[in-house]
Structure 1
Amino acid sequence: MDFYLLLWLCPLYIVGTIVYRLFLHPLSGFPGPKLAAVTHLYEFYFNLVQDGMFIWEVERMHAQYGPVVRITPHELHIKDAHFYDEIYAPASRKREKYSGFVAHFGTPSSMVTTIQHEHHRLRRAPLNSFFSKRSVVQLEPVIRENIGKLADRLAAEIQKDEGVIRLDAAFTALTMDVITHYSYGKSYRYLDEPDFKLAWKDAVLAASANGAMLRHFPAMLAVSKSMPHWLLKKLDPQAAVLLEIQHMVRSQSVESLQRLQAKKEDNEKTNTAKTTNNDANDNNDDEQAKSIFDALNNPSMLPPEERTLDRLQDEGQILLAAGSETTAKTLAVISLHLLRSPAVLARLREELISVMPTPISTASWVELEALPYLTAIINEGLRLSYGVTTRLPRVAPTEDLQYKEWIIPRGTPVSETSYFVQMDPTIFPNPDSFDPDRWIQAAARGERLDRFIVSFTKGSRQCLGINLAYAELYLTVAHIFRRFELELFETDVDDVRLVRDRFFGAPRDGSKGVRAIVRGETLL
């Protein structure tokens, strides 16, 4: 009896769901394909069967239906760069994450997957000071030291016959060594690896590509963790890589916790010994955090439930991945275009001479960001590296949003893909071209084109590491291209142009990255 009843109820449920989503759902009046309104299988097909092609299907939807489209049963996408700040609004207007999307990251207790506005503020507060511009300026010696190590590696290649450097891997090693030093007080020293630890870069990209699977099947993360590693590696290599990264970060977290505990015990012994002075303990009550990991363990800022090992693992995984790959990709894109454009490179070097008179001179971030042409190159590199290419939905829990004649009900997930903003031909004519002059000309007209650079998103959920990224971009581009003569090796624009959305964006299949030969050092 129950079995036959189930046979009747299942199709009734399916039909009822279809009817509700097409005619009764709060988004039923918004344009878009009917199939996308009915089922998530529409997105599933383009994300997983077609391997990261949903971004182009969304673009096709906009071409057919207009600037606002219902792309899934519960979600809208808008293609209008001028509306971006409404979706990704500042902290004065609450914006929350979409619960149906956060499984993508595979880090359920990290800040990036925190849904509620207040909870996110609690988790972000201990880290804000670490990523302020003032703190990043204080970190500048560490950044320069690692750029110096990269420069030494490049200089060593001059004596080799046709020695080929994977610039994208080298830049990932650079940014990784900086963020690990800042996070844990100890660099991973990937710049010392012969291949710049290419396996880490590949692992981050593979784990990011697995996010779409986790989003469609959130239970897969728990299943993966319970499965023998050898079997998981055979069935789903990308999921296996994700867990390998998590285990690596967890081991680092355990090591750092042990170090903090030993440090605490030493301080307690010191405090006990200081009994001759009444105020001897004043400077030991709340020692300033020396690393990001210290801040995440600060009991004066976070309650015990926010300082668990699982959360430290999740937060560490996001910090290392976001703090390495995104900036490294921008550096690779800038490098490719500079080496394809001798006139642009020559003009950059001419400007750099004003603050770096010799090829081995150094300049500070503050000095470099005052250079207009270098700034234009940085902006153009950010624009053409896109940031995260997967849409990042936001929910306005307390207000309806109005876009033109459309009223978007509160609680509706809405997104706008960074790629569509930064490749908008009405804002950036000939958007595929690398053209720093567009920024110089816009500045002369009093236009703020930089408000359309959304690689770091905007608002209260903006990327925490934006200042660190800018410092790394300015200092690396200036010091590497002021000193070295490089030549591309079997590399062209297709090695950085977006073909598939695998969260960070992927170029053509078979790409071997941005490769170059070090021909020598500049003479002037």
Structure 2
Amino acid sequence: MELPTVSNAAVIAGFSSLVLYCVLGALYRLYFHPLAKFPGPRLAAVTGWYEFYHDIIHRGLFIWHIQKLHDQYGEFEEDEILVYLLNSDAGPIVRITPSELHIRDPDYYEEIYAAAAKKKDKWSGWVVMAGAPDSAFATASHNLHRLRRSALNPFFSKRAIANNEAQIKEKIEHLCRRLKDCIENDEVVRLDAAFMALTMDIITQFAFGDSYNYLEEPDFKLEWKETVIGGSANGVFLRQFPWALPILKATPLSLLQVANPKAARLVAWQHMMRRQADAILAKNAAGKKAEGTIFQAVLDSDIPLAEKTAERLTDEAQTLVGAGSETTAKSLAMISFFLASDRKKLQKLRDEILTIGPEPDGSFVLLKLEQLPYLTACITEGVRMMSGVTTRLPRVAHEPMKYQEWEIPTGTPVSQMNYVVNNDPKLFPKPLEFHPERWIEAEDSGIRLDRYMVSFGKGSRSCVGINLAWAELYLTLAYVATRFDMEVYDTTAERDVLIDRDFFVGVPKEESKGIRVKVVKA
């Protein structure tokens, strides 16, 4: 049987149609699109490949390029008037993709990330990067998110954390025992991995009723930390190519282990989470509740039955564990590094903590620790420098938004970046320096500096686990700072501590070997 052939004319016609489509699309985006009037590079207005180049080819550098765009389209000297004319009006608002705007203005942050009264959706084109489409975190719709979040709020309330304070302390004591072993064995400790093991053991015990026991691992399960960061980096790829997610999930695990071991570990963990969800659903149907787990909290909530599927439970658990471990651990590692690098600050902190404890059994009481001003300042400064999610978090309003003289069309994704707000030198002079005193000085002067500390987000979409994170930070620092001294080992702030790239969460330079210390007795 003779196969049909394609004529040269047909090929030329097809290619010409494609070129015409691209040209007309580019002209529309440049001159007729609702965002055509906004400043920004022409290439960013035309194609999403602009973001791809800076975020994937250059691996997580788009947030820095956005900063440059704000500088470029901000103030112009007289000899730059041609640049101004070529790039339309200038200001602190920039078009960074064909359909998206970015604003650099800390005072406008709360307008974008508003409370529940002002409905704002997440951008559906962005949330795909979470890889967990049925989780509350990845829910685009404001109303659906509010429904899903309502099932989680009681589980992470202040009261729930207080009821689990002993459980948190038990894990911190386990970490302290491991650090004592490191002293006896003269080991160098990957502090970022050690704190990651701690936060993982806490969140898994808290959420699933069964800890992963990463604190028992000789290297504090370093591969898990690398897996989480690798998964975050893959999220940037998924945002550009959302069709890759179902392919990734459908790929046999054995094949994935050969092609991409880090992705395989993440998928294997997702499979394990699904088995947990299936088992708890089966037990729940038989009348046996898994009390004290996030799964059971969702099952016992008032949300519709359709929201209690195995897929939903798996996605919810996945995002909570990821969010509940890496960011808090990074804050702890950063704070500990800077305290180890400045004995005066460490001693000041230690002296303050010892004024209220420890208790006769050697423990500390969270409620008392929360009243200590310098401890609070150290934690707040560390959380500021950690910045939470470093990538932009676009929101979509249900009505036009007004920013200065600009009217932003309804349905336009608009964002700011936590990292940029937290490091604004006008608000935080010398932002890359660990300076807890800035918070005490601001409070003494009546300045609401805390308004601009946005690492946990703001509004109805702020971090659901904020109470657990603060409890971990207060208690862990109290135990560790009063029991141990740490000597920085082959670690520098510029290479190993400060944020250099955006993989959804901030990471240090690629050549970093982590935050390493030698632990000695206090």
TM-score where L is the length of structure 1: 0.91
Indicate if the aligned counterparts of 2:227 and 2:263 stay in contact, CA closer than 8 A: no
Distance in structure 1 (CA, Å) of the matches to 2:26 and 2:269: 40
Distance in structure 1 (CA, Å) of the matches to 2:12 and 2:509: 51
Q: Structure 1 residues 451, 184: closer, same or farther in 2, change over 3 A?
A: same
Partner-residue secondary structure (3-state), 2:134: coil
Of 202, 227, 231, which aligns to 1:207?
231
Distance in structure 2 (CA, Å) of the matches to 1:381 and 1:431: 11
**Equivalent residue, structure 1, for 2:296:** 294
- 1:440 Cα deviation from its structure 2 partner: 1.1
Distance in structure 2 (CA, Å) of the matches to 1:359 and 1:334: 27
**Equivalent residue, structure 2, for 1:519:** 520
Distance in structure 2 (CA, Å) of the matches to 1:28 and 1:426: 31
Q: Structure 1 residues 289, 412: closer, same or farther in 2, change over 3 A?
A: farther
Distance in structure 2 (CA, Å) of the matches to 1:227 and 1:445: 58
Partner-residue secondary structure (3-state), 2:438: helix
Indicate if the aligned counterparts of 2:30 and 2:36 stay in contact, CA closer than 8 A: yes
Deviations 1:94-114 (A, max 9, x none): 011101111111111111111
1:346-425 equivalent positions in 2, closer than 5 A: 346-356=347-357, 361-397=362-398, 399-425=399-425
Distance in structure 2 (CA, Å) of the matches to 1:475 and 1:408: 44
Q: Which moved more, 1:186-195 or 1:229-238?
A: 229-238
Indicate if the aligned counterparts of 1:359 and 1:483 stay in contact, CA closer than 8 A: no
Q: Structure 1 residues 359, 335: closer, same or farther in 2, change over 3 A?
A: farther
- 1:385 Cα deviation from its structure 2 partner: 0.9
**Equivalent residue, structure 2, for 1:269:** none
Distance in structure 1 (CA, Å) of the matches to 2:290 and 2:442: 43
Indicate if the aligned counterparts of 2:60 and 2:502 stay in contact, CA closer than 8 A: yes
Indicate if the aligned counterparts of 1:418 and 1:457 stay in contact, CA closer than 8 A: yes
Write the letter of the residue equivalent to 1:290: G
Q: Structure 1 residues 289, 120: closer, same or farther in 2, change over 3 A?
A: farther
Indicate if the aligned counterparts of 1:179 and 1:323 stay in contact, CA closer than 8 A: yes
Partner-residue secondary structure (3-state), 2:517: strand
**Equivalent residue, structure 1, for 2:278:** 254
Is residue 188 of structure 1 aligned with residue 212 of structure 2? yes
Q: Output the aligned Cα RMSD.
A: 1.8
Indicate if the aligned counterparts of 2:208 and 2:293 stay in contact, CA closer than 8 A: yes
**Equivalent residue, structure 2, for 1:272:** none
Equivalences, count: 496
Distance in structure 1 (CA, Å) of the matches to 2:261 and 2:175: 31
Q: Structure 1 residues 420, 35: closer, same or farther in 2, change over 3 A?
A: same
**Equivalent residue, structure 1, for 2:434:** 434
**Equivalent residue, structure 1, for 2:487:** 487
- 1:258 Cα deviation from its structure 2 partner: 3.9
Distance in structure 2 (CA, Å) of the matches to 1:359 and 1:54: 52
Deviations 1:400-425 (A, max 9, x none): 21111111112110110111001100
Deviations 1:36-70 (A, max 9, x none): 00000000011111111111110110111131100
Distance in structure 1 (CA, Å) of the matches to 2:312 and 2:359: 47
Distance in structure 2 (CA, Å) of the matches to 1:420 and 1:5: 48
Indicate if the aligned counterparts of 1:360 and 1:483 stay in contact, CA closer than 8 A: no
Q: Structure 1 residues 241, 48: closer, same or farther in 2, change over 3 A?
A: farther
Indicate if the aligned counterparts of 2:156 and 2:465 stay in contact, CA closer than 8 A: yes
Indicate if the aligned counterparts of 1:110 and 1:315 stay in contact, CA closer than 8 A: yes
Deviations 1:118-165 (A, max 9, x none): 1111111111111111211111111111111111111222222x2112
**Equivalent residue, structure 1, for 2:157:** 132
Deviations 1:339-361 (A, max 9, x none): 00111001001111111258973
- 1:238 Cα deviation from its structure 2 partner: 4.7
Indicate if the aligned counterparts of 2:340 and 2:485 stay in contact, CA closer than 8 A: no
Is residue 50 of structure 1 aligned with residue 52 of structure 2? no
1:155-234 equivalent positions in 2, closer than 5 A: 155-160=180-185, 162-234=186-258
Distance in structure 2 (CA, Å) of the matches to 1:292 and 1:243: 20
- 1:5 Cα deviation from its structure 2 partner: 4.5
**Equivalent residue, structure 1, for 2:69:** 61
Indicate if the aligned counterparts of 2:294 and 2:317 stay in contact, CA closer than 8 A: no
Distance in structure 1 (CA, Å) of the matches to 2:221 and 2:261: 19
Indicate if the aligned counterparts of 2:391 and 2:503 stay in contact, CA closer than 8 A: yes
Write the letter of the residue equivalent to 2:356: V
Partner-residue secondary structure (3-state), 1:505: strand
Structure 1 runs of 4+ off > 6 angstroms?
Answer: none
Q: Which moved more, 1:66-75 or 1:129-138?
A: 129-138
Q: Structure 1 residues 84, 377: closer, same or farther in 2, change over 3 A?
A: same
Q: Which moved more, 1:243-252 or 1:171-180?
A: 243-252
Distance in structure 2 (CA, Å) of the matches to 1:499 and 1:244: 29
Indicate if the aligned counterparts of 1:394 and 1:414 stay in contact, CA closer than 8 A: yes
**Equivalent residue, structure 1, for 2:18:** 10
Distance in structure 1 (CA, Å) of the matches to 2:149 and 2:291: 15
Distance in structure 1 (CA, Å) of the matches to 2:19 and 2:506: 39
**Equivalent residue, structure 2, for 1:78:** 103
Partner-residue secondary structure (3-state), 2:432: coil
**Equivalent residue, structure 1, for 2:509:** 508
Indicate if the aligned counterparts of 1:256 and 1:293 stay in contact, CA closer than 8 A: yes
- 1:228 Cα deviation from its structure 2 partner: 2.9
- 1:2 Cα deviation from its structure 2 partner: 6.5
Distance in structure 2 (CA, Å) of the matches to 1:485 and 1:360: 21
Q: Which runs of 5+ in 2 are unaligned?
A: 1-8, 75-91
Percentage identity across aligned positions? 50
